[in-house]
Amino acid sequence: MLRRVLRRRKSALAGAVVLAVIALAALLAPALVPYDPIKIAPGAALSPPSLTHPFGTDQYGRDILSRAMTGARLSLATGLGAVAVALTAGVVVGLGCGVIGGWTDLLVMRVIDIMMAFPGILMALVVVAVLGQGTLNVMLAVGVSLIPTFVRLVRGDVLSVRENAYVEAARALGSRPTRVALRHVLPNVVAPIIVISTVAVAWSIILGASLSFLGLGPRPPIPEWGIDLSGGRNYLLRAWWISSAPGFCIMLTVVAVNLVGDALRDELDPRLRSLANL
């Protein structure tokens, strides 16, 4: 299916290729980086992009290319990890609520309503406040802020799939509720879940980097796109390249994810078109 999408849409193919390159760079960063991303080299501070430092160096003389590549690991991990959290919670809770119904559903949906009262970043901020700063906590915070969206989507689809004759048939044949949920309902709600997950990865990368930018994520000198962008803020005029590299990396990654996501959405579930604004 993915292959068909990629063949038909050139933009999605471009996105997928860019993503693959970024993912490879992130995975192989420890072996590939030309310089130690953390070691300070005052002599080389604020060098503009050149052959020895393709993206230049920052105010501490650290190679920006090396930092950007290493930073990709954290950003991608945050994006995927956060979505994994939201996806697990969303599928378990949404499927459970949709299949069980009744009081459980009512109660859980009230809790979700309350969570919806906090706009995404505010929720993430509150979670970081509770858990403390740090990489893993940012991932959790972003994940938690996405849970309501996932739960509502899954539950809504489960409710409509549940009405189908084949689900009733399965129940009439004496299948237990767990079996009905996993074998007959879940496979039929997978498409929208895939679509929303892709959009959510893009959103999570941005939100994760935002929290780091605010100083709530991993701490310097850890290479991370949000931190590095923030670090170069005061050098915009003297050394524009410090903030540009991480900024460009975030944008490139998110554009690539969105290109793939758009194609998947059109292919799998055109009715989700209005959900683009997670």
Give least dist CB 215 to another protein, A.
7
Residue 71 contacts residue 226 (beta carbons within 8 Å): no
Among 83, 162, 258, 264, binds another protein (CB under 8 A): 258
| 103 is a site residue for another protein (CB under 8 A) | no
Q: Which whole-number Å values give the CA distances from 90 to 78, 83, 145, 150, 263, in the listed order? A: 18, 10, 11, 5, 23
Cα–Cα distance, 45 to 58 (Å, whole number): 6
Is the CB of 41 or the CB of 272 nearer to another protein?
A: 272
Cα–Cα distance, 22 to 16 (Å, whole number): 10
Among 31, 102, 174, 274, binds another protein (CB under 8 A): 274
In the Cβ-directed half-sphere of 110, how many Cα atoms lie within 13 Å?
5
Is the CB of 28 or the CB of 107 nearer to another protein?
A: 107
Cα–Cα distance, 17 to 20 (Å, whole number): 5
Q: x/- string (CB under 8 A) for another protein, residues 212-251? A: -xxxx---------x--xx--x--xx--x--x---x--xx
Hey, what are 151's tokens? 């739960």
Is the CB of 173 or the CB of 274 nearer to another protein?
A: 274
φ/ψ of 63, rounded to 5, equals -75, 125
Is the CB of 132 or the CB of 174 nearer to another protein?
A: 132
| 64 is a site residue for another protein (CB under 8 A) | no
| 277 is a site residue for another protein (CB under 8 A) | yes
Please report, as residue ranges, which positions from 114 to 153 form the binding site for another protein (by CB under 8 A).
Answer: 114, 117-122, 125-126, 128-132
Give least dist CB 30 to another protein, A.
26
Cα–Cα distance, 111 to 156 (Å, whole number): 16
Residue 97 contacts residue 155 (beta carbons within 8 Å): yes
Binding residues for another protein, rule: CB under 8 A, are 110-111, 113-114, 117-122, 125-126, 128-132, 202, 206, 209-210, 213-216, 226, 229-230, 233, 236-237, 240, 243, 247, 250-251, 254-255, 258-259, 273-274, 276-277
